[in-house]
Amino acid sequence: MIPYGTGRPLLTPVDRDGSRRTARLRRLGLGERPDASFDSFDAFADRVAEVTAAPFSIVNFIDENRQFFAGLHTPAGIRGGSALGAAAAGRGGRHLARDHGYCPHVLVRRKALVLEDVCDYPRFAGNPVVDDMGIRSYLGAPLIDRTGVALGTVCAVDTVPRAWGRAGLDTIKLLAREFVVQIECREGGHR
């Protein structure tokens, strides 16, 4: 992919932990397909949207090849009106290519990322989610479990620029830590 006006490809960062992450996700029973427990992941995404006042939020597990929206919140009434909304329409549509969006960058960096207006950052402005999904603002943090593996991300996105600020950054990091506790509780239940 080539971002507008730069003439050079926008590359997804190299993920040196992909195989380790994929194995960990499989051991936890996450990231491949939805099951009954994923309703709690949707509920968590709803909570993220409420706390951040964002129209979209995602609990995203990322393996070597794709992203899986295990938890997804979209505004009522637009399920067919956008790519994120379309993903919410059915569980089968909850996958996204690994080179789309900003979560893979958060995952590899292992740090939260705030993009108040993605168009202000040439590195991110050319990402397909800008044109395909209308994403203009992103707030995300990695989900790093007790083993040190970054399993995915939790994020809030908007179709308009947002001044997330330091409060938004602190909030998304806190929500990520809270969700990791849910994963660890889930793991305890599978032993």
Tell me whether residue 12 is exposed, middle or buried, using C-beta atoms within 10 angstroms of its C-beta: 0 to 12, 13 to 18, 19 or more.
middle
Domain-embedded: residue 111: yes
Domain-embedded: residue 1: no
Per-residue pLDDT at 187: 74
Q: Which helix (H) or strand (E) holds 96?
A: strand 95-97
Q: How far is CA 1 from CA 11, 14, 113, 114, 138, in A?
A: 8, 16, 22, 22, 20
Domain-embedded: residue 5: no
Domain-embedded: residue 4: no
Per-residue pLDDT at 62: 92
Q: Which helix (H) or strand (E) holds 157?
A: strand 150-158
Domain-embedded: residue 47: yes
Per-residue pLDDT at 29: 85
Domain-embedded: residue 123: yes
What is this structure's pTM?
Answer: 0.85
Per-residue pLDDT at 169: 97
Give pLDDT tens digits along the chain (191 positions). Answer: 334 434 444 567 788 888 999 999 988 888 666 666 668 899 999 999 999 999 999 999 998 888 999 999 998 744 333 555 554 444 446 878 888 889 999 999 999 999 999 999 888 877 777 777 788 999 999 999 999 999 999 999 999 999 999 999 999 999 999 999 988 887 766 54
Mode of pairing for the β-strands spanning 113-115 and 137-144: antiparallel
3-state SS, residue 166: helix
Per-residue pLDDT at 138: 95
Number of domains in the chain: 1
Domain-embedded: residue 9: no
Domain that holds residue 178: 18-190
d(CA 106, CA 116): 15
Domain-embedded: residue 3: no
d(CA 39, CA 145): 21
- CATH number for the domain including 56? 3.30.450.40
